[in-house]
Amino acid sequence: MSGRKRVGVLISGRGSNLSALIEACKSDLYPAEIVSVISNRPNAPGLEHARKAGIEATCVDHTGYGTREDFEAALDAALRTASVELVANAGFMRILTEFFVSRWRDRQLNIHPSLLPAFKGLDTHERALEAGVAISGATVHFVRTEMDSGPIIAQAAVPVMVDDTPDSLAARVLEAEHKLYPHALALVASGAVRIEDERVVFDRASAPEAALFWPPLEVPSS
């Protein structure tokens, strides 16, 4: 498929969501292709996974730079050398400064394991269980300088079970992430979404209006 958007994926670890994106990009009908995978950690397992998939994979080690801006300048240069058009953070454990965010504004995506704006930051599943929420989930959003903020592109809702642990909830949310991230990237790469007044706008004409209930609505038995 010609005209596919060139995507650079940023990782810090095993690249679980990277694998889902690689799989989605195998289809000729998918509107994006991964042309570069970059990790800030040289031993990130996701680098080898990318290489096995035939994708250029490199490390820009943040510990080798004196300032965050110097690191981000090198990261930016690596992406531009690969002619990247969209950036997808997939377990990239660095908080980015205005220097980098502004250069990739509205072209950089991130995925977070909660229904933002709830439970930003770390330990999301522990905090969700402590709060007693009935529904958790995952969010893909455009990156802004504030952590886990920015216009929301897509979300997936995941029920919280009564016997859930942080690990069991995390596994269920991660399964949803692997479907959500390719979907959200496709929306952006295809031009199906745009940003107006810091909100993502797209055609909602076919979106179901029915509410999701958990636990499901049932007629109480007498």
Q: Give me the residue label for tokens 């240069």.
A: 77
Q: Token pair of 13, please?
A: 């670890």
Closest CA to 24 of 187, 151, 206, 194: 187
| CA distance from start to end of the chain | 59
Closest CA to 17 of 90, 86, 89, 87: 90
* Angle ∠(212,90,149) on CA atoms, nearest 5: 60
Mind giving me the DSSP string for 196-217?
Answer: ETTEEE---TTS--PPP-SSPP
- Could you give the residue ranges of the DSSP H alpha helices within the chain? 16-25, 45-52, 68-81, 98-103, 124-131, 166-189
Closest CA to 125 of 164, 181, 178: 164
Q: Catalytic amino acids?
A: 112
Are the C-beta atoms of 59 and 39 separated by less than 8 Å?
yes
Cα-to-chain-centroid distance, residue 207: 22
